[in-house]
Amino acid sequence: GAVVSQHPSWVICKSGTSVKIECRSLDFQATTMFWYRQFPKQSLMLMATSNEGSKATYEQGVEKDKFLINHASLTLSTLTVTSAHPEDSSFYICSAKLPLAGGPQETQYFGPGTRLLVL
């Protein structure tokens, strides 16, 4: 079953408005979550690493003042797209680290994603 949820799954908004996307880990605590963006027919692009109780680490080229990340609890990280514009329209996906069963390593489990359309 799903271990990471995202809300909302679809957002349509007007240019200039802000949109908040929630990512929740279900039945486990996630000290680290990741936010990705994916444009049509392109690969995942890591935007930022969200760490519970501290500031997010942004990848090069990602504006931290435009994409606000808050990881206030061990089960919730939020991404707020501020003053959204049509070029921000994309598929936003979060993931959380979870240990692999039977091994010491971890992998990332993804939420179902949020489609954002900015008009």
Among residues 13, 58, 66, 113, which is the contact residue for other proteins, using CB under 8 A? Answer: 113
Binding mask 63-102 for other proteins (x = CB under 8 A): ----------------------------x-x------x--
Among residues 81, 88, 89, 111, which is the contact residue for other proteins, using CB under 8 A? Answer: 111
- Secondary structure letter of residue 100 according to DSSP: P
Which residue number, 14 or 40, has a Cβ lying nearer to other proteins? 40
Among residues 83, 112, 117, 119, which is the contact residue for other proteins, using CB under 8 A? Answer: 112
Q: How far apart are CA 34 and CA 36, in angstroms?
A: 7
Report yes or no: 67 and 114 within 8 Å, Cβ to Cβ.
no
Name the E strands within 1-119: 4-7, 10-13, 19-25, 32-38, 45-51, 57-58, 67-73, 76-81, 90-99, 106-110, 114-118
Among residues 18, 29, 73, 107, which is the contact residue for other proteins, using CB under 8 A? Answer: 107
Which residue number, 14 or 100, has a Cβ lying nearer to other proteins? 100
Angle at 93 between CA 84 and CA 104, to 5 degrees: 145
Q: Which residues bind other proteins (CB under 8 A)?
A: 42-44, 46, 91, 93, 100, 103, 105-113
